Chains A and B, each alone.
Chain A
Amino acid sequence: MKKSHETNATPVSRGLWADAALRLLRDKAAMACFAVIIIYAAIAIGSPMVFGDWSAAHDYNHRNESPSWQYPLGTDALGRSVLVKVFLGAHVSMTVGFMSNVIALPLGILLGALGGFFGRRIDDFVVWLYTTLASIPGIILLIALKFAFADKVLFPGSFFELDLSGMAGVYVALGLTSWVGTCRLVRAETMKLKELDFVLAARATGRGNLAIMFHHIVPNLMHIAIINFSLGFVGAIGAEVILSFLNLGVQNLPSWGKMINEARMDLIVGRWWELTAAAGATFIIVLAWNIFGDRLRDALDPKLRNV
């Protein structure tokens, strides 16, 4: 009598993270997107080291050249390689995406967890805060913040000097305006978690509120944080491109938004390469993050697996 392989198999017990990792590894689309993100990240980290001081770069004798072996993506109006601009634009976009999430996620998690856990006036305050913020159109708020940061330098002369008129201002502005979605999700999840048995057990052992929140609840919110990190990254890249297009973005470095702004008049005379390169680079990374974020959410949220 034959026995089926399945009935003989020993059930394997895996934790949430290991299970999610395995699922992602088996997902070819997710892995391809992840590879794209890693490549962009490597370019973002490596390009400033390779291409050095960009502000001096120019070659006035090779202006507006179409793609060639020497310049695979052509050159711009000042004779600079468009490929190098795309690489340095990746540095700007990835840095802004990462840093704005570094600001927005802890803010969203902290406020959401505080509101959800303590309820009452603290929750009222958190809800009022994010409702107020959410009622202002995001891009308008960003632009207003960038104008407010126009001449601001924090801690001037010190090691921590932060010039808010440049790239730091972009990610601080983005960080301060993009925590609302995370906060809402975290607050709702915290409200659910705090009623569960393991929190009751912790309370029974005499642990204080803050200890319960940070040791028992927040670790269980990490999957939300990771999913929001990936989705927030996309939003931050898009916002940075818009700000740069409006001349409110980074200075001294190329960015995809600036490239699109500079090259928009080029199309009417047939110089398509700079605009296409910037738009293409933005499209690929945004698509990769979107697909990867989607698959990550599927992997980390068991409820969505069969949807």
Chain B
Amino acid sequence: MKWFYILSTALVATLVALPLFVLHTAGSGIGAPGVVYNAIYSADVKSLDPATCGDVTSSTIQANFYEGLYTYHYLKRPVEVVEQLASGMPQVSADGLTYTIRLKKGILYHRNPCFGKDPAGRHGWNTRTVVAQDFVLSLKRVADYHVNTGLAWAFLADRIVGLDAYREKTRQFRIGDFSRYDIPVEGIAAPDSFTLVLRLTAPFPQFIYVLAMNNVYAPVPREVVDYHLSTTSDGRGGRVSIPVQDRVPEIMEQEQVVGTGPYILTTFKRKWSIAMERNPEYREDFYPAEGEGPSAGYEGDKAAGLLADAGRRVPFVDRINFRYVEEEYATWMLFLSKQVDVTGIPVETFQAVITPGKELTDSWKKKRISLSRTSDPVIYWIAFNMEDPVLGKSKSLRQAISLCYDAENEIRILSNGRGIRAVNVVPSSFAGHTEAGPGPYFRFDTAAALRKIEDAKKELAAAGLLVNGKIPELKFDMSDGPMNLRMADFARQQFARLGLRLKCIFNDWPTLQRKVQNKQIQMYYMGWAADYPDAEDFLQLFYSKNIDKGTNNSNYRNPEFDSLYEAIRVMPDSPQRMALYVRMIRLISEDCPLMPIYEPENFTLYYDWMLNIKQHPIGYGYLKYRRIDARLRHALGGSEG
């Protein structure tokens, strides 16, 4: 009996103490050593495959584990292309048609079962070095008819000798027949393991920028295709071939991701969480030693403390935890409770945080929070589907809508003034914007809009498209979320000035993109973030041959514009090319296939333990440069894991 009392007392004491012990170890981060960066993603990651990456969220995630030949310098502005997996800038032939690119040697892929077991036995799985043939395969995959490579293909179509013919050939193959990757492409060659030669059909001055689209043209080892996409587990530790008809040609699972980047993807739970760990075999890469100098309104990178880590090996952070949080409010609360290191500012709280002079208020500075402000080359617009019978038929209707839309108030009310009015289809920081000047209809003028709407009624009446003498109700698609409820109300107020009825349709982000691609849409709110610092990136959005490639989403067709585009796409930077840019921008401003609304200004808040924060306007994959002062974070009570 005595033992019973002793044992029962011990058991109860253990049960009481256990939660305390567990909670204590969880809080101290035991079991998860290293510095962890806590971040949020709020839109679905559409793609884990570099070839199918075409949206900002996927690029932001992918750029941490995939790398391309070139990238942009982290600190320098204006942006500057620098080598990443290439060992130097490409050698371009005198006629501008042949690019010879040498690769860095000794770049290792992340260890993965597709390379077999590690023969040395020190690691679970083997790896191998990146070779030029891997880039050949990645370019072939981008051209593969059976892989949905909208954006990646749009930049290469008609550009590389034999690649379009290769794409046609892949159509003949069944989706799961990967022997199509053995067909040679005339314009892509790997004369040795570390040299890649690309032959273009015509000069393409922006080609270097295309190669710098960080992860889109990242190398893919053939082993991924042969192991992950062609075989599956037999349940006994071996592999069995997947029947050809059942194979999926796209990388879609976490274990299929094999990159060279600073982080290895360890967890991928769609719309839940993404985790990455430092790649222990990452190549020798260092924090930049040079930065942006002082300029009007900016003290320069050195004075801003952005060169304190110059020359140090990256990455600094050991683990990245992305948590999926759709609601801005929830993200904000996570930031305030120091569970997230960096955040944007919700519209509702903006006035409480930012002064009228667009600086952080003193009370927030006292919380050891800092502000980063950047203007990115992004334009948000309302695009019209030019294949829609009503909007496509009536230029006057599109012009009237553009004139009646009070974009300045939209920026002021819905974005707290975080942006400037976009007055043509090229960002204000790009050459060509100022030269082309503001579009005649991209201004707020209700009287002019009312005159235009009468013309529109005549055009639509002539086409037999009026319903009971009125313009039919227009459908306006946008993303969902509480802010877009206000956006919808605001848009209705604008359209009501012209007596137009508007039906707003809310979609999640992938659905909206799918509807746009499938042309199941009349009018929609979206934006375009520059892929490279040249107006051509925005002008290609209106080239008719890019309708099928998925970038001309307004389905605009204009033979005059097309011939101008075909002229500029091979021209080097020159006054003649600028003159053509101006003509093209003005053509769009006249035809109004879309209505530019604003160029956003980003306000990012971060705790003082976050170091080396500088937003890049175009590139991705800069988390490797961020450093966390773990002591300060601990002292301030920030979440450490």
Contacts and interface: CB of A to CB of B under 8 A. Distances in A.
A38 B486 CA distance: 31
Interface stretch (B57-65, B492-500, B526-534): B492-500
Contacts of B501: 55, 252
Contact of A265 (B413, B482, B502, B503): B482
A266 interface: yes
Contacts of B486: 77-78, 262
A247 B485 contact: yes
A302 B47 CA distance: 66
A166 B329 CA distance: 28
Contacts of A264: 329, 482
Interface in A128-165: 150, 157, 165
Given A78-B490, A262-B486, A55 B349 contact: no
20 contacts: A55-B492, A58-B493, A60-B412, A63-B413, A77-B413, A78-B413, A78-B493, A166-B503, A251-B504, A252-B501, A258-B485, A261-B482, A264-B482, A265-B328, A265-B329, A265-B348, A265-B482, A268-B332, A269-B348, A269-B349
A57 interface: yes
B204 interface: no
A201 to B, nearest CB: 56
A53 B496 contact: yes
A56 interface: yes
A77 B488 CA distance: 13
A166 B505 CA distance: 11
Interface residues of A, number: 25
B346 interface: yes
A165 B493 contact: no
A241 B506 CA distance: 17
B413 A150 contact: no
B413 A247 contact: no
B505 A150 contact: yes
A248 to B, nearest CB: 9
A245 B137 CA distance: 48
**Chain A's interface: helix, strand, loop or mixed, by majority?**
loop
Nearest to B333: A268
Q: How large is the interface on B (under 10, 10 to 19, 20 to 34, 35 or more residues)?
A: 20 to 34
Contacts of A266: 348
Contact of A251 (B351, B413, B503): B503
A246 to B, nearest CB: 9
B226 interface: no
Given A55-B493, A60-B413, A258-B485, 10 more contacts: A53-B496, A55-B492, A58-B493, A78-B493, A150-B505, A247-B485, A251-B488, A261-B485, A262-B485, A268-B329
Interface of B: 328-329, 332, 346-349, 351-352, 409, 412-413, 467, 480, 482, 485-486, 488-490, 492-493, 495-497, 501-506
Nearest to A157: B467
A258 B473 CA distance: 22
B495 to A, nearest CB: 8
A247 B508 CA distance: 12
Given A258-B485, A265-B348, A268-B348, A56 B329 contact: no
Contacts of B505: 150
B511 to A, nearest CB: 11
Contacts of A252: 492, 501
Nearest to A248: B506
A265 B485 contact: no
A206 to B, nearest CB: 54
B232 to A, nearest CB: 34
B179 to A, nearest CB: 42
Contacts of B329: 264-265, 268
Nearest to B336: A268
A251 B489 CA distance: 9
A26 to B, nearest CB: 46
A53 B493 CA distance: 10
B522 to A, nearest CB: 11
A262 B505 CA distance: 16
Nearest to A165: B503
